[in-house]
A and B are shown apart, each in its own frame.
Chain A
């Protein structure tokens, strides 16, 4: 178990770091990286303009940037955000709790709504019973996260609930298919024929075999929720990491973008690994089969 955890941690750290650095490379190669909006200020002298360009050119060598970034990371220094004129660690420290809170609300809300509706559809097999949930899920899936955020803004509802609506249709569609398929499997039919109670069938014969996939779904929901949090935080003016990511991308703020990319990769990988570990602890035989 300990070696599994160690391997997971090593894999997570390496993947997150690699993701962050590849992200940095993409930003570096994108248009407009080396320019600064301040250069358009007609009051600036030639010397000031050169000073701005020199400051900007510091990150233009991507290899040197990686070396500096990794050296700083060893000492706990995440770098300095040029666009917000503050250390990246301070910015993340201020904004991360808000985003984590929103993600917790969004993921829990989305998974709860999705699973509940999926269960209702799977258990209550009356023709037409899935029309309303399927329509709702389809509508939420069709609407971009930004539009959902705008609707919530007009209704004066906190943006975190918009995250739940983004997560819910994905959970619902996957969970419904999974539960319906499990309900139709031979062992469930046999259990029903033996006259087992509905709740026993549900927990012991439907949920248990579907658990690995449902756990993986919860892990994926975290990355889905984080992706949705970017437009939602921007539109609802929530000062979280999503809004920070948007600003960093617009301003080509390399140190900030690298750290946010690493953070997102970490969160996604940790969520997936936690799901795996929980499954391994609960049902080791299924975990081994999945592995």
Chain B
């Protein structure tokens, strides 16, 4: 049995026996046993070493700012929370359906103010303390503490007032908020449950991995949670991986180089140029999951008190002018030239990949210089020679700012500049570093137009409330209005409030469809493209099902496995 199952050990046993040929049979037998035990231990240790290489490796762009699940704000901390935090419900990134995790059932009542969860029994935190309803109640209470200012806490704050959270049974818990919260259950996808009793607090987790080592600026090592509650269909405990090594690396070129060398298993958020380069070398490693939820948009400064000449403010506040610019931009060209075919012209604030909330009746504006010219003529603009002039004889010339270091934006601006030149409009491109750009669009309002990318992390439009409400700080073209300055903004305000309060998702969708139609008609933001979600994955990574929603590749991290070939290489 031993000979048959353990290669190498019999030879070692025989050798040891031969050396002691003159010893007594009993002594020889004892020595042989010791050698067998030693060899078995050695083999076991080797097996353990081999197992420790069952490790998935990828990069974070920077250090996570916190390991406290309730204070997460930055993308790197969100990644760590996703990999370590246990949540009550999880949005399946592939099917876009809500699934129970630590909660087996849930019920939303009181018009979206209250939610009741039935909790999964026999679940332990990574440190061995049992998961109870008190952990959920305590997490909700901490999250809703007015002193906690985090995006996930604010997602529940639709009105001021106290939040109630308590156990309603040994394995059931409720939370009641001061006002209805849109998509209340889905909001818990971002809430990592913390232990109310564990002395380890943040390090006691319910997710598939726990933080084992952290060397700031270098790497973060996560090991499998030995108490993780999930099993696969064969009853095997999940996750399959033993550990995750997240190298902290900001340089994308270096990340790609390491992927090519086989030092990394995943590269997230590839830019189109890198994607094409990698496609030429490793065609089986690249993944284009289709249009993401992110937007590339242009908007004009419509702020009443902005330091702009009055005639320019009139242009920017004219619906016809904005729509003319929109019609004159060739979105197909941007997709083809800038994104190398890895983007889709955008029709509005909802990507085609957002199956439920998309208003399918809307189409991306068709490129037409003639339509644009007709709109401008209707608005009193006229062409003289190569230039365009407004009704008062001002030459149409404006600047567009964007963030420095973003090659895609710089190339997009170059194309827009060419497109607008066909209308006789002179566009001046200004590249600023990001803090300067934020200062201009949110404090000093000292800009004319801007090209920006919006990262969308949620399917539900409730996260866009601050963008569409005229009183919102993110109502970028004219923020913080005391009262809506236009009829259509007042209409959007009403519709957004109505969709947030409506209990029925179909009714909410009808309201938001109307918002999308108004946005398409009035063009306060010119939606250009939805870039595709591009990634690279090692061929040796098993069970990969790329999704559009973040995190695209490792959303099912507990089921990912490293192929035996790669394990042996490592």
Where the two chains meet, the residues of A that have a C-beta atom closer than 8 Å to any C-beta of B are 31-49, 51-52, 84-86, 91, 94-95, 150, 153-154, 234-237, 239, 243-244, 247, 250-252
Contact = CB atoms under 8 A, between A and B. Distances in A.
A39 B155 CA distance: 15
A239 B435 contact: no
B463 interface: yes
Nearest to B77: A85
A235 B254 contact: yes
A52 B149 contact: yes
Contacts of B155: 43
B217 A32 contact: no
Contact of B435 (A31, A84, A243): A31
Nearest to B457: A43
Contacts of B442: 35, 39-40
19 contacts: A31-B436, A32-B433, A34-B439, A35-B438, A35-B443, A36-B438, A39-B438, A40-B438, A41-B151, A48-B149, A48-B154, A51-B149, A84-B63, A84-B65, A85-B66, A234-B251, A236-B254, A239-B248, A250-B435
Contacts of B216: 86, 91, 94, 239
B435 A37 contact: yes
Given A31-B439, A236-B254, A239-B218, A45 B157 contact: yes
A158 B205 CA distance: 37
A38 B442 CA distance: 12
A37 B217 contact: no
B299 to A, nearest CB: 13
A46 B249 CA distance: 33
A243 to B, nearest CB: 7
Nearest to A46: B473
A38 B72 CA distance: 11
A41 B150 CA distance: 10
Nearest to A243: B217
A39 B66 CA distance: 18
Nearest to A249: B433
B257 interface: yes
Interface string B234-252: 0000000000000011110
B163 interface: no
Closest CB pairs A-B (n = 10): A239-B217, A32-B435, A48-B149, A43-B151, A32-B436, A31-B436, A85-B65, A45-B154, A35-B438, A42-B466
Contacts of B249: 237
Residue of A32, A247, A252 most packed against chain B (CB within 10 A): A32
Nearest to B444: A31
A230 to B, nearest CB: 13
A47 B149 contact: yes
A44 B435 CA distance: 18
A87 to B, nearest CB: 12
B465 interface: yes
B184 interface: no
Given A153-B254, A252-B435, 16 more contacts: A31-B435, A32-B434, A32-B438, A35-B442, A37-B434, A38-B73, A40-B438, A40-B442, A42-B463, A51-B149, A95-B217, A153-B257, A235-B251, A237-B251, A239-B218, A250-B435
B474 interface: yes
A37 B154 CA distance: 17
Contacts of B218: 239
Contacts of A41: 73, 151
A42 B567 CA distance: 43
A256 to B, nearest CB: 13
Contacts of B150: 48
Contact of A42 (B433, B437, B465): B465
A33 B439 CA distance: 8
B17 interface: no
Nearest to B441: A40
B253 interface: yes
B443 A34 contact: yes
Contacts of B153: 48
A91 B62 CA distance: 14
B221 interface: no
A247 B217 CA distance: 11
A32 B439 contact: yes
A281 B125 CA distance: 64
A44 B154 contact: yes
Nearest to A85: B65
Residue of A37, A43, A95 most packed against chain B (CB within 10 A): A43
Nearest to B73: A38
A271 B248 CA distance: 32
Contacts of A234: 250-251
A145 to B, nearest CB: 15
Interface in B141-172: 146, 149-155, 157
B467 interface: yes
B198 interface: no
B96 interface: no
A37 B257 contact: no
B464 interface: yes
Nearest to A49: B473
Contacts of B146: 47
Contacts of A37: 434-435, 438
Contacts of B151: 41, 43-44, 48
B466 A33 contact: no
A31 B472 CA distance: 24
A94 B215 CA distance: 9
Nearest to A33: B435
Interface string B248-269: 1111011001000000000000
Interface string B353-375: 00000000000000000000000
A150 to B, nearest CB: 7
